[in-house]
Amino acid sequence: MDDARLQNADILIVDDEPLNLTLLQKILHSAGYTRLRSTTEPRKVMDLLGEKEPDIILLDLQMPHLDGFALLQQLKQRNPPNSYLPILVLTADAMPQTKMRALSSGAHDFLTKPFSPAEVVQRVANLLQTRQLHLEVRRQNHNLEEQVAERTKELEKALSDLKETQDKAIQQERLNAFGTMATGITHDFNNALSVILGYCEVALIECEGKMRRNELETHIQTIMTAGLDASRMIKRLREFYRPQAKDEPRTVLALNDVVQQAVATTKPKWHAESLGADILIDIETDLAEIPSILADASELRDALMNLIFNAVDAMPKGGVLRLSTKFVNNRVVLQLRDNGIGMPEEVRRHCLEPFFTTKGEAGTGLGLAMVYGIVDRHGGTLEIESTPGLGTTFIISFPPVLEEQIKGVKPAPRRTRPLTILIADDQPEMCAIMSNHLLNDGHKVRAVMDGKPALEAIGGGKFDLLITDHVMPGMSGKQLAAAVKEISPETRVILLTSMAERPAASASRVVDRALTKPVSLVDLRRAIAEVMTDSVAPGMPAIA
């Protein structure tokens, strides 16, 4: 222990004889100690201790009012058991029993008067050194305790992180299992449906010219309609978990634009006027400058619209939905924060699963499953934070588009200019679905149920494109196509064929493109983009 540190010690001297005090002060002073306090009044000792804790007390035994033994007793009670405040007792009474009594009452060392100055200095130094060591041990113990506490905290955090990762892994696993199941079911189911729908079409062709045709035809049509419904259902299910296809239509896209479009498109659902006067839902956007992403705009828009509808549902008394974008950690992050009812933990954990809904009859439970599938296929991640009563935040992140990806991207099928399209299909549902899709994409659409009205329409106006079913009651799709090309050679034709026909057989000089039913929106858009580019001249053989 270095002397400088020892000499910095605070020393308290208690002796009723002022001459003794002066002598001790002198001795200690000349040994280098500067922080000396002293008193001749033993009853003041406790106050002095209260002012500042000394490092050592030099204590006389025989004093009036309160002798050294009584003070030792008080000190014993005052000082905590694990502390070490050395007390050096000084006395003229050299009797062994006095020494013993003092030592057993809490004194640490003992000096008999008259004392040698050198011995005083040495004993004080020894005691101070012990105190220093004691303080050092205490300090280290304290540090150790702090370190243990800190480490414990770190371990607790690691444990909770681990648990969260585990939860996520379990959820991912569950979604994967749903995906595998959905893929298996859709595959087998689709095969069965192909046969049903295919033979329906064959049967319809055979119906032509037969007796009781109308009745039989109606039955077959009914079977077909049900089959097509099932096919659409299966397709939706498949949409959630299908892996990203190689030729998925991807464009270099500004996510901020998609956000704005989704907000604008959903406005009728959340705007004050449509909700009634006493409910106010506000949608705020905070869109930062972000890199483009590689995505399918319509899929992303669908996902966003679903999230917006959910948020609106979650704010039955009104509220604020805030959509923000930013670029962090090399990810394009989109956040949707509502201050609605929030989700209990159990709901949060299951909400991405298909058919999970808390809305009873009003919900399908397919919205978030679809959102998850879309985000996943875009290489994105989806996280949900929610507090019941406070609201929910969906955090979606995408990788930014890379320089080399930009070159390889096909122009989006959606980029076709607005077209005037004629649909000919004898199934009203098919007409409705396709019209709806195409109208959404900004085209002008007219739908008819047979060849004759189709030809009248073509004769009466200019159409860029005819999308026709092959099997129709009055005229086949190919017959219609041939007639249309006679009247209006520049009109392109997309023929929808059934699964029972061989695709090669459908391609002909009058058909620009043949598609096998059921046709997805993505396929339809791509086919439109392909037949409408100038590289495909009217009347050329189909690309199929």
Q: How far is the CB of 310 from Mg ion (least distance, A)?
A: 4
With contacts defined by CB under 6 A, how many residues of the chain interact with ligand ADP? 23
Which is nearer to Mg ion, 33 or 372 (by Cβ)?
372
Strand partners, 383: 395
Which is nearer to Mg ion, 132 or 358 (by Cβ)?
358
- Tokens read off for 300: 């992303």
Question: What is d(CA 122, CA 111) in angstroms, rounded to the nearest whole number?
Answer: 11
Q: How many CB atoms lie within 10 A of CB 211?
A: 8
Tokens 């499953």 found at? 369
Omega before 268 cis (within 30°)? no
198: Cβ–Cβ under 8 A, 6 or more apart, which residues? 498, 499, 500
334 binds, among ligand ADP, Mg ion, none (CB under 5 to 8 A by kind): none
Interaction of residue 311 with ligand ADP, rule CB under 6 A: yes
* CB neighbour class for 121 (10 Å; exposed up to 12, middle 13-18, buried from 19): middle
Q: Residue 43 corresponds to which amino acid?
A: R
Q: Are 234 and 531 in contact (CB under 8 A)?
A: no
Among 124, 351, 510, 527, indicate the residue that binds ligand ADP (CB under 6 A): 351
Among 102, 124, 234, 368, indicate the residue that binds ligand ADP (CB under 6 A): 368
Omega before 453 cis (within 30°)? no
Among 40, 358, 516, 520, indicate the residue that binds ligand ADP (CB under 6 A): 358
Q: Which of residues 319-348 bind ligand ADP (CB under 6 A)?
A: 338, 340-343, 347
The residue sitting closest to Mg ion, measured at its beta carbon, is 367
Which is nearer to ligand ADP, 86 or 179 (by Cβ)?
179
Among 310, 325, 498, 506, indicate the residue that binds ligand ADP (CB under 6 A): 310
Q: How far is the CB of 340 from ligand ADP (least distance, A)?
A: 5
Question: What is d(CA 519, CA 272) in angstroms, rounded to the nearest whole number?
Answer: 38
Strands (E), 174-292: 251-253, 281-287
Site string for Mg ion, 284-323 (x = CB under 5 A): --------------------------x-------------
The residue sitting closest to ligand ADP, measured at its beta carbon, is 367
Q: How far is the CB of 366 from Mg ion (least distance, A)?
A: 7
Q: Are 87 and 71 in contact (CB under 8 A)?
A: no
Interaction of residue 392 with ligand ADP, rule CB under 6 A: yes
Q: How far is the CB of 319 from ligand ADP (least distance, A)?
A: 10
255 binds, among ligand ADP, Mg ion, none (CB under 5 to 8 A by kind): none
Question: What is d(CA 90, CA 20) in angstroms, rounded to the nearest whole number?
Answer: 10
Q: Which of residues 430-449 bind ligand ADP (CB under 6 A)?
A: none
Interaction of residue 518 with Mg ion, rule CB under 5 A: no
Question: What is d(CA 336, CA 324) in angstroms, rounded to the nearest whole number?
Answer: 7
Tokens 């607790």 found at? 156
Question: What is d(CA 344, CA 337) in angstroms, rounded to the nearest whole number?
Answer: 16
296 binds, among ligand ADP, Mg ion, none (CB under 5 to 8 A by kind): none
57 binds, among ligand ADP, Mg ion, none (CB under 5 to 8 A by kind): none
Question: What is d(CA 75, CA 78) in angstroms, rounded to the nearest whole number?
Answer: 5
Q: How far is the CB of 365 from Mg ion (least distance, A)?
A: 8
Q: How far is the CB of 180 from ligand ADP (least distance, A)?
A: 20
Interaction of residue 367 with Mg ion, rule CB under 5 A: yes
Strand partners, 87: 57
Q: How far is the CB of 200 from Mg ion (least distance, A)?
A: 34
- Residue 162: phi and psi, rounded to 5, are -60, -40
Helix (H, G, I), strand (E, B), or coil: what is residue 384? strand
Q: How far is the CB of 306 from Mg ion (least distance, A)?
A: 6
Among 62, 79, 364, 476, indicate the residue that binds ligand ADP (CB under 6 A): 364
- The answer for 342, left when phi > 0, alpha when psi is -120 to 50, beta otherwise, is left
Interaction of residue 392 with Mg ion, rule CB under 5 A: no
Name the site residues for ligand ADP (rule: CB under 6 A). Answer: 306, 310-311, 314, 338, 340-343, 347, 351, 356-359, 363-369, 392
Name the site residues for Mg ion (rule: CB under 5 A). Answer: 310, 367
